[in-house]
Amino acid sequence: MIYLDNAATSWPKPPCVARAMVDFLNNTGANPGRGGHRLAIRAGQSVYRARETVARMFITPDPLRVVFGYNITEALNLCLQGNLLPGDHVITGSMEHNSMMRPLRQLQKEGVELSIVSCDKCGRLKAEDLEAHIRPNTKMVALNHASNIVGTIMPIREIGSICRKYGIIFLVDAAQTAGSIPINMERDMIDLLAFTGHKSLLGPTGTGGVIIGECVNVKNMRPLLRGGTGSNSEYDEQPDYLPDAMESGTINGVGLAGLTAGINWILHEGLNKIRNHEIRLTQQLIDGLLDIPRCVVYGTLNAREQTAVVSFNIQGMESSEVGLRLDEEYDILCRIGLHCAPMAHMTIGTFPEGTVRFGISYFNTEDDIIRAIEAVAGLSRETI
């Protein structure tokens, strides 16, 4: 079996991830921050190590500004709903995932003004086009770091500089880049960095969160949930300090143990080594698909300008049929359809049909890519 659905969830994970989770369950298991006994303390220490590890991964100085949740969708909702009010203006791009667009559309109904900057057919966004949309009431720029469909990487450092110039909050959705492309919150001038654990960070599902930068006034940010935090239990109002202000309920301690292991594995292996491997395989795949008659490949066609995600179609064959036959006849697992990003497909010209998407990881090999190209070529020959 060849697994090429890593843009949805990475698999396999490094063995240390499962070991860390089993160790937590067998030897810790208690509720972090909810008691003074040794196991509760050990659980709390494990969660704090996760904060430190995430902070080290994204070059941010204060681990206590790492807020955990269950996925990046929750994190984006926290950032958007927690900061935007009726009358505020927010700018986004036309390659966004529904995890960004659906909360924005709801906020728009509630009186938040929304501008969408058009990207080109390859998914590229120009910083100067975004800057042209800034108004006196612009409060936030909310943008993905890379498209989940064609992988196109956005110029976040340039946009971060623009946001700092105007005093605008910069929210980055790093679902597709965290763990595969270097991110430095300070250098890139990111105020809110939303991440998920189960993709390139190599952790389990049910993990994610947001890093809240120093420029964001937490006292002006509304929690998505309120409830038990294990702190300030003598008061029936939510704490106003991080991370407690934004984290209510029992945290996913076992999942965060796995996430810590996944990130430490990446840091030990080397992010540049991982990135270079993925660039090589991605370009190999792009070039191979371009040589196939009736195979249309979308995006920049340059692996250095994108993540390890390649979308394509075979003319004369539905993407759903391609995906099914790749699975059943060639033992290749991939993703088909609209990938929860209809506006992005409108941008690249593949709506409403969608595309076939291959998502490569560090654990894929050149032989995997050769077999994938041969499989697509075999299906393509049937349409001639």
pLDDT (tens digit per residue) in 204-256: 999 999 999 999 999 999 999 999 998 889 999 999 999 999 999 999 999 99
Q: Order the strands of the 335-337 sheet from edge to edge.
A: 295-297, 309-314, 355-359, 335-337
The confidence score (pLDDT) of residue 33 equals: 83
The confidence score (pLDDT) of residue 184 equals: 97
Please state the rounded mean pLDDT for residues 117-138: 98
Closest CA to 149 of 286, 278, 307, 2: 307
149 contact partners, CB below 8 Å, separation of at least 6: 95, 123, 298, 299, 309, 311, 339, 341, 344, 345, 348, 355, 357
Least confident piece of the model among 126-135, 168-177, 234-243: 234-243
This prediction's pTM: 0.96
Number of residues in the chain: 384
Contact (CB, 8 A) for 122 and 96:
no
Please state the rounded mean pLDDT for residues 359-371: 98
Long-range contacts of 154-162 (CB under 8 A, 24+ apart): 154/93, 154/95, 154/125, 155/125, 155/126, 155/127, 156/188, 156/190, 157/187, 157/188, 157/189, 158/127, 159/127, 159/130, 160/188, 160/189, 160/190, 161/189, 162/127, 162/130, 162/131, 162/134
Q: Report the SS3 class of residue 173.
A: strand
* Structural domains in the chain, sorted by start: 2-10+270-381 (3.90.1150.10), 15-268 (3.40.640.10)
294 contact partners, CB below 8 Å, separation of at least 6: 314, 315, 316, 380, 383, 384
Contact (CB, 8 A) for 192 and 169:
yes
C-alpha triplet 121, 124, 130: angle, nearest 5°: 115
How many Cβ atoms are within 10 Å of 363's Cβ, its own excluded? 15
Place of tokens 């202000």: 245
The confidence score (pLDDT) of residue 35 equals: 82
Active site residue 340: yes
Closest CA to 350 of 303, 311, 301: 311
Contact (CB, 8 A) for 311 and 376:
no
Q: What is the pLDDT of residues 289-327, one digit of tens each?
A: 999 999 999 999 999 999 999 999 999 999 999 999 999
Please state the rounded mean pLDDT for residues 114-143: 98
The confidence score (pLDDT) of residue 111 equals: 98
Closest CA to 265 of 13, 47, 71, 67: 13
Would the pLDDT of 94 be above 80? yes
The confidence score (pLDDT) of residue 384 equals: 64
Q: What is the secondary structure of 284-313 as a DSSP string?
A: HHHHHHHTSTTEEE-S-S-GGGB-SEEEEE
The confidence score (pLDDT) of residue 278 equals: 98
Closest CA to 302 of 329, 318, 324, 280: 280
Residues above pLDDT 70, as percent of the chain: 100
The confidence score (pLDDT) of residue 331 equals: 98
Would the pLDDT of 383 be above 80? no
Please state the rounded mean pLDDT for residues 149-175: 98
**CB neighbour class for 316 (10 Å; exposed up to 12, middle 13-18, buried from 19):** exposed
Closest CA to 314 of 341, 334, 300: 334
In the numeric block, which tokens belong to residue 311? 């979308």
Give the type of residue at 20: A
Categorize the per-residue pLDDT at 36 as very low, low, confident or very high, splitting at 50, 70 and 90: confident
Residue 384 or 267, more confident: 267
